[in-house]
Each structure stands twice: as structure tokens, then as C-alpha cells.
Structure 1
Amino acid sequence: MATKPKTQTPARSAPVRSDKPAEKRTAKTGADKDAPLKEDIRLLGRLLGEVLRHQEGDTVFEVVETIRQTAVRFRRESDAKAGAELDKLLKKLTRDQTNSVVRAFSYFSHLANIAEDQHHNRRRRAHLLAGSAPQPGSVAYALSRLDNAGVSGNTVRNFLSESLISPVLTAHPTEVQRKSILDAEREIARLLALRDQPLTPKELRDNTELLRARIATLWQTRMLRYTKLTVADEIENALSYYRITFLRELPALYDDIEEEIHAQFPSRLRTKTSARTTPAELPPFVQMGSWIGGDRDGNPNVNAGTMQRALQRQSTTIFDFYLDEVHALGAELSISTLMVDASAELLALADASPDNSNHRADEPYRRALIGVYARLAATARHLGVVNILRQEVGAAAHYAGPEECIAELQVLVDSLNANHGGALVKPRLAVLKRSIEIFGFHLATLDMRQSSDVHERVLGELFASAQVEPSYAGLSEEKKIVLLLAELAKPRLLYSPYLTYSDETNSELTILRTAREIRQRYGARAIRNYIISHTETASDLLEVLLLQKETGLLHADAKDPSKLVELELMVIPLFETIPDLRCAADIMEQWLSFPQVTPLIDRQGKLQEVMLGYSDSNKDGGFLTSNWELYKSENRLVELFNRAGVKLRLFHGRGGTVGRGGGPSYQAILAQPPGTVNGQIRLTEQGEIIASKFSNPEIGRRNLELLVAATLEASLMPETTDAKETRKLAEFERVMGDLSDRAYQAYRNLVYETPGFTDYFFAATPIAEIAELNIGSRPASRKSTRRIEDLRAIPWGFSWGQCRLLFPGWYGFGSAVSEWLQEGGSKESAKKLATLRAMYKEWPFFAALLSNMDMVLSKTDLAVASRYAGLVADRKLRNAIFGRIVGEHDRTSQLLGSITGNKDRLAGNPLLARSIKNRFAYLDPLNHLQVELIKRHRSTAASGKKVEERVQRGIHLTINGIAAGLRNTG
């Protein structure tokens, strides 16, 4: 972009904020706790305006400022005249001005997000400084609740020793941020946080100049990718969050949890040389997971090579961290045996080190750490890490596994504790040891995922080639099971190295063989789960058992090959659609009943994982029915697993939007049916939600703590056994079932049964333009069709967010409740409404459902959505479908208010309500321009002319800006 003439004219109407130390400006605002947030937003807005003027010149700045003022007047003052003015202003923009306006408003949304995150950290710190009572979502609050309920400290400690809480990072085609943009924004966040510290006037001026420079960097950095994102890019993007947040914040969280447990339930653990009690050490019950590089469902770019790359890059990341920490630790632990004793074990470890310098002869800790460094470096090279920046002193044997390294670090810990050095353990040594316990040599567990139909094709080919069964796919379910079980009992393989197989079969078998090699190389935790998409029958699970047998991952008894004794990859069904969720318990009952499967589950610790899909079930059946069928499925699975004596771990495939299972994680976990958490929970963190939750270390730590706190409460809080409450819950569930049936009919009727709905969707949303964006390695659709059934749930939800309808998060509720209330006359209707109000007040599941819907409706804007509806050329179709959507929106909003007693959206969360309201004025120009640019783009394409790159780029910039403004959109 060419640089425009610069001027020194003061910025007209730009918000001005004096540069004051944070404590002075906060004190001046008195009781307005949100005043620092407003000042931060004004500061960032002013600096953005100055950068815009300097980079683009007076004319563009004046245009942007006029649009801003008009949009604010239109939105906040409901000025219809201002709306017309805004439309006129936007249509008059030149192509260059259009992109500058889009970028300006997009970056304002990004900067507002940074300011809000910083304010969340500020408010949390203020609560801690004030000694406020623990807040919901904190571990301290959860432990206090448990203590008050009579749960003992030993129960909590034993519970955590058997628990697994695992956030699983996934890459999906709604991640619209480039890493370069994220890096610049993180630096802005750091500089903004510094302003809350006491700064001298010069330090404050310097800080302001650095902020201006970073915003200028943003302005001069390309916001979009011009080339398709690869799986390798997605791997690197994910690893950046480990360096920013997980590597340091996760071990630190363990320390916090130990201290909180110790404070609430004092333990009797003592050091060897002191009567002072110390917190008991917790096992690594929070572990990271990843799908990036192993999830090949619908993504032809994922293969054996991407799995190897993922583990190699993960291993490199964690070894870089370990080596840096050991080096720093060596500099810190300059302890001399001339001053203090050391244990015999520590001295032996030091003597085994390759360090023979006379200068360190009396410094055994340094020599021992030089040996640890040498062994870690050797291990890193053994695992394929290259370019180790700091050369080790001498050669050493590599570690066979992380346990050996942990044992050597424990020698240092024990020696320090026994020789007056206990205070030296916690700052770094304990953190390093804890990190290795958590991350091992693999960093995160890589899940594998593939669709059941691929497994069927591969086995079909293997059966046919081996002349066992010529038409496996054509067999009935019963015959498939008989054949699969028989084949599992045979010692020979179906595969022959002397036959030729299709590329798909060769690829799938190579991937499984690679998984085995990865486990041998990086440890069993590197890959331990195999997820089956579109699980519809028990044979879908048996097929993956047989494929593991074919590739050396399923082991039989050496004396009796018909007996299966160990499975390396847990076979995990994924139930996604409404019919699949309804069949989940029956399929799992059959799976648990197979005699060949029982010993395998026993070796897994009598534990079986089941994954539930939120996105596809919503696209299939709508918001209300999806949530209800998930709830019912979980209840049935818990009942089944309890009968079978097997522990159930649920893996929640939640997305960012409410329509894809999103919303606050804390409330979502607490709203789970009783018995479904039980210390075992995995859940996906997807797309741009990863950046929202984990790009700021403090925010990331808080989000990890929320998961732990919610798991503790959901698992250990005593359940009510009161007969009256049980009957009441049964009544609530009966009502919910009735509402779900009605909502399902309303949703299916519109989306799948209304002629022309697909045409409306493709015209009235930017789905086609989203598919063109270079924002993910995975195609937007599973097949090259326009069928809603084939469209991935993620771009489906993302598109509705862009046009400000957020349709998947509320449609069907209004019709369902309205129909239900109208049956039985006015007296019966009043009674039913009272029941719904009781459900909202007394049932966490229903309360969370309505809270999420409330948030979605607060972001919905029918006036903006109507402009997108105008993109539909067929007026009759446009009016018919948009009219139905508007009618359902009005019904849903009115009935939600009647149930909750709140006429205004987000009445219970005024901070979020204000945030959304303030953002709308800056989103309006982006939405208006997106519609105008889509018109130009589609008109050009329809005429057969060459699509103008500048227009296409402008559309993609608006997609980025709107996503940033709405935050949880994908």
C-alpha cells in the first residue's frame, strides 16, 4: 500500500487520554471500576488514528473518522438519518479507501479485544489485592464449596491422582489470524499491561511511543495470507501457544492448586529438615492434547508425514524449553560444598557429568546439571531435534525416557531439601521437574482421527485381496461383526507385501505403522487415541481393532494368539449426528459385551473414552435438540458404564460458537448431567478460540484453572437424593423432551425441507467467499456439492455469524416454546410458563442453555442481516425465508425474556452487554462494506470478467474484522 502525504494536523475528534500512571487515573475515576478499560480503548483508538493519519494521509483519516462518528450516532442513538448517511458514505468510497476503512475498523476490534483481556486481568488482580472472597471458576472457590459440602482433603487428593483433564487443540478453517498479527498483538498487550505499574513520566512516554510503533507495525503487516495454510503452518501456529502460555503457566497452575488444597485441607507432608508442612505434590492430571497433524477426517493433507512432523516439531519445542531451563538453573545453583554439604547421590551424579573443570570442582549441582544438559541434548538429537543452539560440554548417553531425567532432577531436589537448600527448589528446579512430568519428551498427545467409511473401504480391499470376503461393504451388520471377530482371533495377517493395494489403503496402513514407530520413539503418551468419525455401528469400532492388528498395534497372547491382551491406541467412537447420539449407548453396550474387548479395556484401567460431537449434531437438528440429545446420550452412557463397571471418559467436541457447543467452559461443565465428568474430561479448543483463550498468559492460566475448578465441582459435589427433587428433575426432563421434538421439527422444516433454503444460504451469507480464504488446510465441505449435509459444521456456523444472524445458536426455540405453551388454554399456559421459569432457576442444564442463547441473541442484528438477505436475487424466496427467520427471532427473544424475567439481553452480565453494544458501532461499517463488496465480486464473476483482487481482498479483510469483533464466531 502506497504511503500517503503526511501532515501534523491534530486528529479531529480523536479520543484523547492523558498519559498518567495507572494508579492515578484509576483513583480519579472513583467507583467506576471499568474506567481503566475505557481509557485503554481510548488510548489505543487514538494511537490507531494517529498511525492511520501518518500512513494514509489526511483524506483517508477524515473519511474513517466521519464514518466512525456516523456509525456511533446510528448505533448508539438509533438515528435513522445517520443510517442513511452511513450507507451513502460507504458506497462513495474508492477501492483504495474501502480497504483502508476496513483495515481501520478491523484493527480497532483487535485492539479492543486486547484492552478487554487486560481489564479482565486487572480486575482479577484487584480482587486478589482486596482479599475478596474466591470467585466462581477459581480452584479456591471450588475447594471451599467441597469443604462446606463435607468432602475431605484426602478425597480431593485421591480424586486428582486418578483424573485426566485435557484441552485438545485443533486446527479448523475459522482461524483467521496470521501468526505475525498475533505476535504484534501480544506485544501490544504486554505494553498495555505495563501501564498499570508505577511509571515515571518518561517511562510512560516511552511506553506510548512503543505502543504507537507496534500499532504501526500492525498497519504495515499483511493481515491476510495469500497462500493456502498448510498443516505444517497449523502445527507451528499451535506451538506458539505453548511458548507463550502452556510451558510456564501449566506448571505454575499446579503449584497454585497444591497451595490451595494445602490451605483448605492442610496436609501432613513435611520436609526432612523442617517441621514446616508443605503442599503434597500432585500427579500430572492436566495434560495437553492435539489433533493438528493427526486428524485426517476429510483432510487429504494429513498423512504419515504430517504425524511425524507434528511430533518432531513438538519434541523440538519442549527440548528447547528444557535445555534453556537447565542452562539457567546451572547458572543459579552455584552452591559450593565448601559452604554446605550435598548428598552422596548428588555427588555421584556430579561425578558422572562430562564436566571436568577445576573451576567447578566444589560445585556439584552445576556439574550435575551440565550432565543433565548433555543427556537432554543427546536425547533431543536422538529424537530428531536439530540446531541445538548451545553446545553441551561433552558427550553423554541419551535418556531412555523422561522418567530417567525426572529421577536425576529428584536427586537435586532431595539433596537441596536435606542441606538447607529447600528455598532454592521452587523457583526453577521444581518447575522444570514438573514440566517434564506434564509434557514428557512429546509435549502433547497427538490424536488420530479418520472417518468410518474409510476404514470400511480399506478392510474391504484387504478382505478381497486375501480372498476372505469379496464384498465386505455389502454384508449385514451381524455378518460384519462375525467376520471381524473371527479375523481378530487368527494369528495371520490379511495384508501381504507381495500384493498391490490402492493408494488409500497403502496410506492408511502406513499411517498406523507410523503411529507405532512414534510411540516407540517418543513414548506411549505421544499417540494413544484413535477417534472414529461417523460411528454408526459396533462394527465401526471392531474395524479399527483389526486395522491395529494388521499394523502391530494390537497384541495377542504369545501362547494363545486368539486371546487379545493389549491395545496400543484406545478405540474412541465419535457420535456426531442426532441419530448417532440416539444410538450411542446401544453401540457402546454391544462394544463392552464383546469378550475379545473386555481384556483390552481392563488393560486400559477399566476405562473407555467416548467422543460427542456438538457441531454436526447442531447442524443436523438445531440448537435445542442438539443440546438435549447430547444430555440424554450422556445420561444413558453413564448408566450403561456404571452397570458394566467401566469408567467413562467423555471427550466433548465443542467449538467456539454456542451453535457448536461453545460458551463459557466453566458453566458448560457444571451443566453436565450428574456422573458424566467424574474426573475424566477432554474437550476441544478450536480455531480462533485458541487465540482468544491462550494468547495472553494470564488469560490462558485462568482458562486452564476454570477447567480444573469445574471438573472438581462437577465430579465431587454431592448429588441430591431427595425424592421430591428427583421427581422434579424427571418432570423438567419430560418438558425438555417435548420442547426438543418441536424445535427439531421447526429447524428441520426450514433447513432441510424448505425448497430453496440452500440457495438462500449460499446467497445471503459469505460462505462462498469464506471457502476462498487461506485460513485452514481443511476444505470447507466434505464433498464438492452445495448440500447442507456435506458442508462442514464449522464454516456453516461461521457464515451465519458473519451476516449477524448467528442462526445455529437459537433457531427453533421460539416455535417450540410457543407451541407448547399454547396447548391447553390460558390457565394451562400460565402453569407451563411457571414450569419453564422453575427450570431456569433450578436446573443448571437449562440455565446454561438459556444463558448461551441470550449471549447469541445479543450479538444478532436483524437490520444488518436484512442487508445480507438483499443479496438473494429471488425476491420471493428472500422474503419467505428471511421472514420466517425474523418471526422465529422475535418469538425466541420474547419468550426468553418471559422465562428469565429479563427483557434486556445480558441483564445478568452488564459488562459483556456494554462490550457488545460498544462494538456494534465499529462492526456496522464492516458488515455494510462486506455486503457491498460481495455484490461487486459476485457481479463481476457472473459477467465472466476477471475477479478484481482488491475487491476479493477487501471481502476477506471484512471477514477478519467481523470475526475479531464478535470473538466467539467459529
Structure 2
Amino acid sequence: MFRLAGLATSVSCKRGLTFTTIAAAARSDKSSMRLFAHSSTATQTQAQTHPQAHHTQNDDNFQDKSAPLRADIKLLGRALGDTIRARDGQATLDRVEELRALSKAWRRNGTGESFDALVAAVHRLDATQMHSVARAFSHFLALANTAEQHHRERRRRSARIQEAAAHAPPPNPLSTPTGFGASAPAKALEGAQPGMLNSTTAAGVLRELTQGSAPGFDQPAPVVVDANAVFETLCDSTVELVFTAHPTQVHRRTTQRIFVSVAAALAQRDRTELPEEIAAAEDDLRRQVALLWTSDEVRREKPTPVDEAIAGLHVAEQVLWEAVPRYLRSLSLRMEQLLGRPLPHHLSLFKFGSWLGSDRDGNAFVTPDVTRDVILRGRWMAAELFYHDVDALYYELSVTSCNEALQRHIGKQTVAEPYREVLRVLREKLRLTRDLARQQLQSLGQSSILTHGGAYSPHPAETATQAGSLPASSSSRSDASPSLVTCSNDILEPLELCYSSLVDVGLANVAQGRLLDTLRRVRVFGSALFHWDIRQESTQHAKALDAITRYLRLPVSYGKMTEAERVAFLTAELESSRPLIPFAFTRDPAILAWLREQFPEDANMIVDVIDTFQMISEQHPEVLNAYVISMTRDPSDVLAVYLLQKAANVRVPCRVVPLFETVNDLDNCVGVMRRLLDNRAYRRIVNGFQEIMIGYSDSAKSAGRVAANWAIFKAQQGLVTLFEDANVRLRLFHGRYVSMGLV
């Protein structure tokens, strides 16, 4: 078998790419490479195309753990070959088959003659033929990757079935159901991977912690941890995954959906033994392969920051929305089995952050308007998804009895269906919130910011203001409407009342169904699906403060201050009660004219920085997660962001996260943070908690991976010691990137 970390989404007609693609296919498993069989799939027997049927005819072959995978790849290869023949003709398929045979011969023989024959065959292709051949091999590799991912899940599932059977008590013949309605026991796939459920899964980790793991080279004897300690530690943990935008590593959502459908059809084919259902699943596979071959692999327009954010929101909607509660339900079951207690219903363990549409470091197209837009889209999508969840709960919870707390919340003496009354009100709030967000998006859509990717506007707040923005929060805005959802608590509180009431009246099993899944979604996704980080480079803040101090005619402008003078100035301003600048600083035509005259090259950037903090002041604190400062090198870099938030009247400041990413910055980060910890204004603001981001890419590029990893290790070790001594909680944010294929 072969494994590819990523698949190219664009196909070039250059011979180099064509040869590379063919060579990659040649390195595949020999039997799996029979990808474009000339015989039609209609003539294949069930035993040849279905793993379970194949098992009945050839037990020895089925013992090979890869046999079902090879069957899947052959089926997909035949479907692709049939599609190529039908769409591009037999001649195209013959060329692909010729190159496949030559590449296999070179792989088998390793001789110069074999290689020369393959190169000569590639050189005989014209540009159009080369394009078709490259697409054929590229699509086959992508389909084979999908089949392999499905096979891993198939083997993991089989391992879980075997594990459950091994730990299950012996059946009681008096209580085991028989006859009509009795379910057959789940069957495990022979050849399930040993150790599949080890430390790579939650169940494996919990079992190793509480029951001991096998001794290793650095562990002479198993170590057993008390189950209560494991439970408390797990409940006190939170994992936050942050989505970032890397346009060079993304795939089209169109092709991603096709591969998801292929995996679903393979799974459906595994779950049934009925011939008509097997045939239907294989028909669906052939349809998806035909769609893949006839769809464009690349975007013809450069994605905008809004496009990237929409792609991330679709991942939340189409994948995470169902996966998160399902995983938490599975984890809770494992905790109950291995630790004696399930996951408490009020804990989620997960959060999702986002830099999509809010990472402006080096990206001039990410403006305050763009960030407003993507946050608004997140709120609209969250309201839409929660609306459907609450609507389903409304029709499910027809229960007539409730506790006193729920009755008091309703405020009526006689309500036949109290849960539906509460859910009806919440559903209406979600509908109004969703509709208002949609209206705002439609209004914003008339501007160039959405249609052309972000030409700079000197007045970024005006569009949202004219559209009638969603209120920031009922606690920070006096005009907040009680009929709208402004934060997750507006959804959480009525649902918690329903949950507690159901438990109190003896319906805990009902409360722990759909309602519990919705409660967990609220805690994970909040009111905007993601918690957005703002990121900007440190020198941009310094330029903005230099412009402000020059406009205020201070004796020494910020740009000419020493580091000690900057820290003294920032500390004094943070402790002062007067505002640093007028609230509408960048909306004054005279000030804008002065900025463009004094800073002809940086005026737009300065306005953008100041307006970004104005945008932050408009958002609910729940929506914005942190402000990350790239290239943090001095204490003033951190204090400057706190001062700019104060100047913009941000009532609940975003936590400021310094990012240390070069080797020099990693070496100096402990000293920078020590000086900050000695600053009285800083200690008051952070209130005993600091998050620090550790960068990986820049340090590796400048010093190499070994030196970079050593610098990262030393930095983390020094920071942990420093903050422990200062009695300040420290959280490390690791900037290691994995491509998700979003666009």
C-alpha cells in the first residue's frame, strides 16, 4: 500500500509532474495497482467486489488484513477506468494502462532499459494527453487514500468489537433475547490490527493509566494511576484547536465532498449483506467517481479571506457539529466503564478557535470589515444550527411534568407542556437572531469587501452600523434586545433548566439524549461556532502608537522612545483614567488627512490597526478569544496592545498572547516575560493568567529543525519555571500546523 500526506489539487501538463504521479502510483501495492481493469464492473461477481462475500470463498486470503482494502481499491479503480473510457475514449485508457505497465516493470526490474522505456512513453504524449494521464493517476491515488482511511476506521471498529467481546460477561441464556426482534451480535473483521486501541485512543489511554501499560525501554514496570486522579485531571482539562488559513495547502470543498461520499458508500457497502443494497452502494461509488472525473480540481479564482473563513465554518457545520457530541458521548461511556463515573454533563473538554478572516499578519486583505463579516457569518450559522436543534427538541419533549424551577421560569400557573413553552421562546430568539444576521450579511454583500476581497475603506464600522448590528451583549450594551441571542448563556440557561427538570422528575435518560448533545454543542461552539483570535505583527502597533503620539504632540514620539521610555509611557497610560485618543479618531476627516500627509506609505495600515481595535470593542467578549502578537521581542509589544484596547474602549479586553517564533526570540522570551511580570500594570491586567504562543515554522526555517526544537524545549522549560515562581498560571499555545483541506 502507499500513503500520501497530501494530494495535489492542481494538475500541470509538465512532464515532471506526470512522471512523478506515475512513479508514485508505481510504488503502490502491486495487486492494488490493477486500477483500470478493462472489464466492466457489471460483470464482476459479488465475491470479487464485496469483502464479506470474498471471505466466504477464500478464507486464507481474507486472513490478510489488507484484503478488504485491496478489494475496495480495485472496485474504485474499475469505476475510474470505466469513467475514463466513457468520457475520454478507449485510447486514453490504453495510454494510462501502458504507462502503468511500464512503471510496474521499472519498479520490478529497476533497470535502465525499463526506465528509458517509461520516459520515452511519457515524452510521446502531447499536452492534452499528458493532462488526462496525470489526472487519471492523481485521482486514483486520491481514491486509494480514501479507501485506506476507510479501511483504518474499519479495522479500528473491528478492534473495538473484539475488545468488547473479550471484556463482556458470559451471556445469560435466561435473559438473552431470541426470536423476532433479537439482534445478531456484531461481527469483527478478521485481521483487526493488534494494538489499534492503545495509546492512540481515549479508551486505550484510560486503560493504560488505570490498569497499567506494558513495560517499555524507558519504563521498567507498569505504572498504575488512581482512577479518581485520572477523572479529576481529565475533567480539569480543555483542548482548544485553532483553525488557520494556508491557501497553498487547501483542497476544493467540491472534491472534498466527493471523497466524503465515497467513504460513506464504502461504509454502507460494509454494513450490509443484501445484494440489492451492495449494488446500490456500488452504483453510488461509480456516480461519485464520475463526478470526480468531470469536476474541476482547482479553483479558478484566488480565495479571499472570507472564502477561507466560510470553508472553515463549513467544516464546523458538516463535520464537527455531529462529531463532537458523538465523541463526547463515547468518551463519557469509556470514563464510566474505566473510571467509574461518566463525563459530567456541564463539561465539554473542547473548544475551537479560528484565525480565518482575523489573521492580518502579512495579509493586507484581512481588514476590520472582513473580520466583522466572518464573525457575523459564524453567528448566523450558529443561530441556524441551534435553531434546528431546539426545533427538534421542541417536538421531542412533550413531557407534562416539571420541577418548580422550570415552572417559575415560565411564570404561568398552568402550562400543559412546560418544556415546549421554554423551547418555543428560545426557538423564536434563535430565529430572530438568524434572520437579523442574514439581513446584515446581505447588506454587507453589496460592498466591495465581499465581492472583491477587501479594498481598504477608511470607515470600516459604518457599513455594519447602518445595517443594524447584532448587539454585543446585554451586559455591555444598553440597547441590547432581550429577544435576540447575544451569547451562549442565552441558549444555555433555558436548556439547563430543562435538563435539571427532567432529571428531577425521573427522566434522566431523556435528558441525556438529544438535549445533552445540544448542551455540549453550546459549550463547545458558543454563539459563533468559533472563538476568533486576532493576530498582528508587533511593529504595526508601534507605528500606530507613533502616529498617535505625534498627533498628540508629545515631547518624544513613540517611535523615538527607548524601550524603557516606552514601558514607562505605556504603564502610565494604562493606569490613567483619561482616554488616549478620541473614540472616533479615524473617522475625523481632518485627522485622516493629517495621517496621509505625515505617513504617506503607512496611513492605511495605521488606520486599519486602530479600526481593528474599534471592531473588537463592538464584539461580545465570548466571540473574540485572544490577540496574538507576532514577532514579540520586548515587554512594550505586549503593553502596547493592552493600551490600544483601552483607547478603543474595549470593556473586556482580549487576553494578549505574545508569539515567540524565531530562535533568538525563543532564547530571549524568559527575560521578556520576567520584565513584564515585574510591571505593576501588567500584573493587574492579566490577573494571574498568561497564555504564550510558541512558533515552530520560523524557528525551523532560520536554524534547522534540531536547533529549533532544542530552543523550543529550553523556552518552555524556562517559562514554566518562571511562571510557577511568580504564582501565575501559564498556558502554552503550540503553533504546529496540519492541513485540513478546507477550500
TM range, smaller chain:
0.7 to 0.9
Task: Give 1:514's match in structure 2, choosing from 608, 611, 615.
Answer: 615
Match in the other structure for 1:245:
319
| Inter-partner Cα distance in structure 2 for 1:508 and 1:279 | 43
Superposition deviation, residue 503 in structure 1: 1.9
Matched, 1:575 2:691: no
Residue number in structure 1 paired with 2:123: 91
CA distance in 1, matches of 2:236, 2:280: 50
Equivalent residue in structure 2 for 1:646, among 728, 732, 736: 728
2:299 aligns with 225
Pick the aligned partner of 1:413 from 499, 504, 527: 499
SS for the counterpart of 2:658 is: strand
What is the CA-CA distance between 1:635 and the residue it aligns to? 1.0
Aligned to 1:225, what secondary structure does the other structure show? coil
Quote the Cα distance in structure 1 between the aligned partners of 2:439 and 2:699: 41
User: In the alignment, what sits opposite 2:432?
Assistant: 378
Residues 888-924 of structure 1: per-residue CA shift (max 9 Å, x gap)? xxxxxxxxxxxxxxxxxxxxxxxxxxxxxxxxxxxxx
Equivalent residue in structure 1 for 2:569, among 483, 502, 505: 483
Structure 1 distance, partners of 2:44, 2:692, is 53
Q: Please say if residues 342 and 419 of structure 1, whose CA atoms lie closer than 8 Å, have aligned partners that are also in contact.
A: yes
Contact (CA 8 Å) 1:350, 1:371: kept in 2 or not?
A: no
AA aligned opposite 1:503: N
By relative contact order (CA 8 Å, sep 6+), the higher-ranking structure is 1
Question: What SS does structure 2 have at the residue aligned with 1:302?
Answer: coil
Cα 1:400/1:50, change in 2 over 3 Å: closer
Shift of residue 123, structure 1, vs aligned partner: 0.9
1:282 Cα deviation (Å)? 4.9
Aligned to 2:251, what secondary structure does the other structure show? coil
Match of 1:467 in 2: 553
Q: Percent identity?
A: 29
TM-superposed CA distance for 1:366, in Å, is: 3.3
Q: Secondary structure at the match of 2:125?
A: coil
Unaligned runs of at least 5 residues, structure 2: 1-35, 167-194, 213-222, 443-480, 596-602
In 2, are the aligned partners of 1:382 and 1:398 still within 8 Å (CA)?
no
Question: Which residue of structure 1 aligns with residue 675 of structure 2?
Answer: 590
Corresponding residue of 1:332 = 396
| Residue 528 of structure 2 is aligned to residue 442 of structure 1 | yes
Residue of structure 2 in register with 1:895 after alignment:
none
Who is 2:74 aligned against?
42
In the TM superposition, what is the alpha-carbon distance from 1:73 to its structure 2 partner?
2.5
**Amino acid of the structure 1 residue aligned with 2:367:** N
Query: Which of 369, 377, 384 is matched with 2:423 structurally?
Result: 369
In the TM superposition, what whole-angstrom CA distance separates every residue of 1:329-351 from its partner, at most 9, and x where no partner exists? 2233344x4xxx43344456667
Output the CA distance in 2 between the equivalents of 1:373 and 1:349.
16
1:262 to 290, 314, 336: 336
Q: Does 1:539 align with 2:568?
A: no
**Letter of the 1:653 counterpart:** G
Shift in Å at residue 568 of structure 1?
A: 1.2
How far does the alpha carbon of each residue in 1:259-315 deviate from its partner, in whole angstroms, 9 at most, with x for none?
322222224xxxxxxxxxx65335233100100011000000101111111111111
For the 8 Å contact 1:296–1:449, the answer to whether it is kept is yes
CA distance in 1, matches of 2:540, 2:672: 19
Post-superposition offset of 1:32:
0.9
Match of 2:268 among 194, 214, 225: 194
Task: State how far apart, in whole Å, the 1-side matches of 2:730 and 2:418 are.
Answer: 48
**What is the rounded CA distance, in whole Å, between the counterparts of 1:351 and 1:618 in structure 2?**
62
Residue 19 (structure 1) aligned to one of 39, 46, 49:
46
Question: Does the CA-based 8 Å contact 2:380-2:433 persist in structure 1?
Answer: no
One of 181, 197, 208 as aligned partner of 1:145:
208
Q: 1:38 to 1:385 in 2, by over 3 A?
A: farther
CA distance in 1, matches of 2:107, 2:398: 63
- Of the three residues 706, 713, 737, the one matched with 1:655 is 737
State the alpha-carbon separation in 1 of the partners of residues 153 and 129 from structure 2.
Answer: 36
Contact 2:243 2:312 (C-alpha < 8 Å) held by counterparts: yes
Distance 1:579 1:469 in 2: 33
Aligned 8 A contact 1:379 1:398 in 2: yes
Match of 2:145 in 1: 113
Return the alpha-carbon distance in structure 2 between the equivalents of residues 577 and 396 of structure 1: 48
Conserved 8 A contact 2:241-2:351: yes
Q: CA 1:37–1:79 in structure 2 vs 1: closer, same or farther (change >3 Å)?
A: farther
CA distance, structure 2, for counterparts of residue 320 and residue 73 of structure 1: 56
SS in 2 for 1:288: strand
> Please, which of 264, 281, 291 is the counterpart of residue 345 of structure 2?
281
Q: Secondary structure at the match of 1:492?
A: coil
The answer to whether the 8 A contact 2:38-2:82 is kept is: no
CA contact (8 A) 1:53 1:60 kept: yes
Distance in 2 (CA, whole Å) between partners of 1:297 and 1:235 is: 16
Is the alpha carbon distance of 1:611 and 1:17 closer, same or farther for their aligned partners in structure 2, counting shifts above 3 Å? farther
Contact 1:17–1:43 (Cα < 8 Å) also in 2: no
Q: 2:113 aligns with which of 68, 74, 81?
A: 81
Amino acid at match of 1:690: M
Q: Which residue of 2 aligns with 1:309?
A: 373
The separation in 1 between residues aligned to 2:439 and 2:410, in whole angstroms, is: 26
**Equivalence for 2:230:** 156
Closer/same/farther in 2, CA of residues 116 and 462 from structure 1, 3 Å limit:
same
Distance change (3 Å), C-alpha of 1:465 and 1:612: same
- Output the TM-score relative to the length of structure 2: 0.77
Q: How does 1:552-631 map to 2 (within 5 A)?
A: 552-553=649-650, 568-602=653-687, 606-631=688-713
Alpha-carbon shift at residue 150 of structure 1 (Å): 5.0
Give the Cα separation in 2 of the matches to 1:321 and 1:237: 16
TM-score by length of 1: 0.59
Q: CA deviation at 1:326?
A: 1.6
Unaligned runs of 5+ in 1: 1-9, 268-277, 389-394, 556-566, 657-688, 696-774, 776-970
Q: Secondary structure at the match of 2:619?
A: helix
Letter in 2 for 1:529: A
Aligned partner of residue 314 in structure 2, secondary structure:
helix
Deviations along 1:160-185, one digit per CA (max 9) or x if unpaired, are 44433111011113234111111112
Give the root-mean-square deviation of aligned CA atoms: 2.7
Q: Does the CA contact (< 8 Å) of 2:250 and 2:740 recur in 1?
A: no
- Alignment partners' CA distance in 1, 2:556 and 2:40: 75
Q: Is the Cα–Cα contact under 8 Å of residues 26 and 36 in structure 1 kept in the other structure?
A: no
Contact 1:191 1:211 in 2 (8 A): yes
Deviation at 1:631?
1.2
Distance between the aligned counterparts of 2:499 and 2:723, measured in 1? 42
Q: 1:173 to 1:378 in 2, by over 3 A?
A: closer
How far residue 77 of structure 1 moved from its aligned partner, in angstroms, is 4.1
1:297 maps to: 361
